[in-house]
Structures are given as C-alpha cells and as structure tokens.
Amino acid sequence: MTTHPTPDQVLVPAERRAHSRLLEKVGSFRRARDLQDSGLYPYFKPITDSEGTVLVIEGQSKLNMGSNNYLGLTHHPAVLEAGKRAVDRYGAGCTGSRFLNGTLALHEELEEKLARLLGKEACLVYSTGYQANLGLISGLVGRNDVAFLDKCDHASIVDGARLAFGATFRFEHGDLTQLEALMERHVDRGQLVIVDGVYSMEGDIADVPGLVELVKKHGATLAVDDAHGLGILGERGRGTCAHFDATNDVDLIVGTFSKSLASIGGYVAASADVIHFLKHNSRPMMFSAALPPFSVASVSAGLDVMVEEGDRRESLWRNTALLREGLLGLGFDLLESETPILPVVIGPDETTFRFWRRLFDEGVFTNPVVSPAVPPGEGRLRVSLIATHTSDQIAFAIDAFAKIGRELGII
C-alpha cells in the first residue's frame, strides 16, 4: 500500500530555512501581514455569492462598485446557456494547447467573429488576456527590434516586453513628444509601439490618432490593448480604434474577454500574415492549454449580446455620468477619466486603505490601488460602473463616499 508523508514530514527543517538566502525575503515581507493585523487588508476577499451588482462577502451583501463586468453579462441567460451547451458537447476542457490537440471548431468560429467585428483579416484566441500580450510582444519583438511602452501600460504589456529578446523603452504617460524622441534614436530597428486603449487605473483614453501619425512617420507598428475599450467605446462596442475611426491604421488590436464579455481569455486581431506568424512563434499560446469550451462559447454569445443590446451600453454611460457628477460635486478628484473607470484619488496608502475599509463596512466594495502601482501619495479607489447598476445603488454609493470623505478629511 502506498503511504504519503504527513505535513510535518515534508516541512523544511528550521536550520535549513535559516540558511536559505533565496527565502530570506519571505520572512522579511511584512507589508501585507501588517495590513492583515490592522484589519485593513483588502485583497483576496472570497465571494460566496454574486448577482452582478451585488456580492456576498463575509456573509454580508456588498454593492459591487469594483467590477470590470461593464455590460453586466456575467449572468445573462444567453451567455450562460451557450456555455452549458458547449460543456455538454465538448466536456470540461481541451486538455492540450491550441498548437497540438486543443483547437476546437468553437475557437475558430470565435476568431472569425472577432476578426469581422474588429475589422481585421484574422484573429488568434489565447487562454487569457495576459497571455495575449505576452505572446504578441515576445513573438514579434526580436533581438534587433525595440518596443515602446507608455508608463501606464498594463503589467501584461510590461512583462511581455521583458520576455521579448528586443530592447524596451518607456515614455511618460501620453507624452508623444518623448515617444517620438525615443523612436528617432532607433530608426534602424524594427519598432513596436504598444499602448492601452483605455487605461485601467486612470480611466483616460489613448491618443490613437496621434499615435497613428507617429508610427506612419517612422515606419513603426502600432498595437492597442483594448481590454477596457471593447464593449464600451465605438459603434456596437467595437472599441477604442473604432471610436477614433482608426481601425485600418492600427496594426494590431489586443484584448481580453474578462471585462465586457464577462468570461476569461484573450485575443490578438491583425492581418492574416501576422496571425499566421504568431501561431508558429507565440510561445504563451503554443505551450498553454487552450481556452475551455464553456468560456469560448459564452464569449461568442456575449459578443452577440454586446452588438444586439445597445441599450446596455447606453445604461453604462448613463450610470457613469450619474456617479461622476455625484463624486465631482462632492469635491473628489477623478483625474482625467473619460470612461466608466473612475479613479477616486485619496492620497497616502494608509488613508486609502482606511477609506476602502470604511466603504466596505458601509456596504460598498471597491478596489484600492496604492504604490508602487501608482506614484507614492497618489493612492486611489478604482471605482467602475456596470450597465445593470440602478440609480438607487449609485445614490447609495455616493452617500457612502460623502460620509467617509468628510469623516477622513478628504473632502
């Protein structure tokens, strides 16, 4: 009979742990522990039930003002039913990569639908939006190439550039003058400029027309990560590039299914030649298990709902205006946000955590963002709207912000 070691038997001896230089950082990492001890720790909160705009956490209902479920599709009947049918047909998972044994007819159908919607020749679906950026940048940026990143780009873009063999340069947020100066220093190299379409912690929109002008001038390639633009901006929710009527001028459109499309997965849409190249050179896709059937089918159904139910987008923008006007009227700083992402600037990290905790106790769930994700002293609560929020729920959130903002001396 096979025996298994008990937990006590597999623990690393104390004397060995004491001499592990690699693990010294583990014992000295105190920031999260201190927050846990103070009761201000805001992360990894287990959700036991969800209705979209309402969550149950620690046995209590919380108004969900921290979701990326912009169109409210997580519980849409058509989305759920499509996923269930796919599970019945294909099973729980693909058990292999797209490159070998994990490509379903569903994947290719979704890719064709996305390509048509986004105005590109072809599309490649990844298991996550994070992997889409890793796969795109590391697949395209070779040893003699260079990538230019906005300093507010998503972490997946930064990590994709780290994985690539080429050089990386970052420019100040939205500073196209600095970007052009960097490009002029590397005119003899292949150049990829990649930016967020909508910035997830600032809520502002990239200057796509200005970027298009620059890349055309310098013979560079432009990629837009539209994770937070798809479903929100442009005709039928086609995203940031469509919003600026610049689809044909942007070489690559990247995105995720975990925001407006309420699932998981990612994609790159581009020319047929680029997609063919990525299929054979994008390691995060080639060596990861394929997106499971439920997710593929539910995303496909979500795209249909996004296009057909335009009133959801109208409700989202109406809700955004209500909350923005309420918070600005109270005196809160929302930076330069132009979208349903509203960064409520609080200040020092500790004050930000205290504000988050008081909101949580009042029944409002938000996302605290502190350094190093944002500059020191510029901590904020990332608030975002859902199409299915009611006016009463938004009023409830505004009242809570007003109460705590005055209590903590923010307004």
Residues 219-257: tens digit of each pLDDT: 999 999 999 999 999 999 999 999 999 999 999 999 999
The answer to whether residue 12 is domain-embedded is: no
- The pLDDT value given to residue 27: 87
- DSSP lists the bridge partners of residue 57 as 47, 60
Same domain, 127 and 214: yes
- The pLDDT value given to residue 1: 55
Same domain, 356 and 267: no
Evaluate if residue 170 carries a pLDDT over 90.
yes
Per-residue pLDDT band at 15 (split at 50, 70, 90) = low
- What tens digit of pLDDT does each residue of 83-127 get? 999 999 999 999 999 999 999 999 999 999 999 999 999 999 999
- The pLDDT value given to residue 13: 58
Comparing 140-144, 145-149, 258-262, 370-374, the range with the smallest average pLDDT is: 370-374
Burial class (CB in 10 A: 0-12, 13-18, 19+), 411: middle
Burial class (CB in 10 A: 0-12, 13-18, 19+), 347: middle
**Which run of H or of E encompasses 343?**
strand 341-347
Same domain, 124 and 184: yes
Q: Count how many domains the chain has.
A: 2
Evaluate if residue 333 carries a pLDDT over 90.
yes
Same domain, 317 and 239: no
The answer to whether residue 350 is domain-embedded is: yes
Q: Which of 288, 308, 328 is the endpoint of a domain?
A: 308
Q: What is the mean pLDDT of residues 327-337?
A: 97
Angle at 60 between CA 409 and CA 406, to 5 degrees: 10
The answer to whether residue 257 is domain-embedded is: yes
> How far, in whole angstroms, is CA 78 from its chain's centroid?
24
Evaluate if residue 181 carries a pLDDT over 60.
yes
Residue 332's CATH number: 3.90.1150.10
288 has catalytic annotation? no
Catalytic residue from among 200, 288, 337, 384: 200
Nearest to 251 by CA among 204, 206, 211: 211
The answer to whether residue 20 is domain-embedded is: no
- The pLDDT value given to residue 169: 98
Same domain, 183 and 239: yes
- The pLDDT value given to residue 17: 53
Evaluate if residue 166 carries a pLDDT over 80.
yes
Catalytic residue from among 62, 228, 243, 389: 228
Evaluate if residue 357 carries a pLDDT over 60.
yes
The answer to whether residue 14 is domain-embedded is: no
Same domain, 199 and 245: yes
Same domain, 95 and 160: yes
The answer to whether residue 71 is domain-embedded is: no
The four Cα atoms 101, 102, 105, 108 give a dihedral, to 10 degrees, of: -110
- Which position has the higher pLDDT, 106 or 10? 106
- Which position has the higher pLDDT, 18 or 277? 277
Catalytic residue from among 259, 282, 288, 389: 259
228 has catalytic annotation? yes
Residue 258's CATH number: 3.40.640.10
CA–CA separation, 259 vs 340, rounded Å? 12
CA–CA separation, 161 vs 137, rounded Å? 6
Same domain, 113 and 155: yes
Q: In what order do the strands lie in the sheet with 122-126?
A: 122-126, 266-270, 252-256, 221-225, 190-196, 145-150, 167-171
Average pLDDT of the residues of the chain? 95
Instruction: Quote the domain boundaries for residue 328.
Output: 27-64+310-407
CA–CA separation, 111 vs 393, rounded Å? 37
- The pLDDT value given to residue 10: 57
Retrieve residue 119's tokens. Answer: 């105005």
- What tens digit of pLDDT does each residue of 125-147 get? 999 999 999 999 999 999 999 99
CA–CA separation, 357 vs 405, rounded Å? 12
Same domain, 302 and 332: no
Q: Which of 308, 342, 362 is the endpoint of a domain?
A: 308
Same domain, 295 and 314: no
Q: What share of the chain is helix, strand, coil (3-state, %, to 5)?
A: 45, 20, 40
Q: What is the mean pLDDT of residues 54-76?
A: 97
Same domain, 295 and 367: no
Same domain, 176 and 37: no
- What tens digit of pLDDT does each residue of 287-313 get? 999 999 999 999 999 999 999 999 999
The answer to whether residue 287 is domain-embedded is: yes
Nearest to 240 by CA among 72, 118, 386: 118
- What tens digit of pLDDT does each residue of 39-64 get? 999 999 999 999 889 999 999 999 99
Evaluate if residue 2 carries a pLDDT over 60.
no
Q: Which of 278, 308, 338 is the endpoint of a domain?
A: 308
Q: What is the mean pLDDT of residues 397-408?
A: 98
Q: What is the mean pLDDT of residues 380-393?
A: 98
200 has catalytic annotation? yes
The answer to whether residue 258 is domain-embedded is: yes
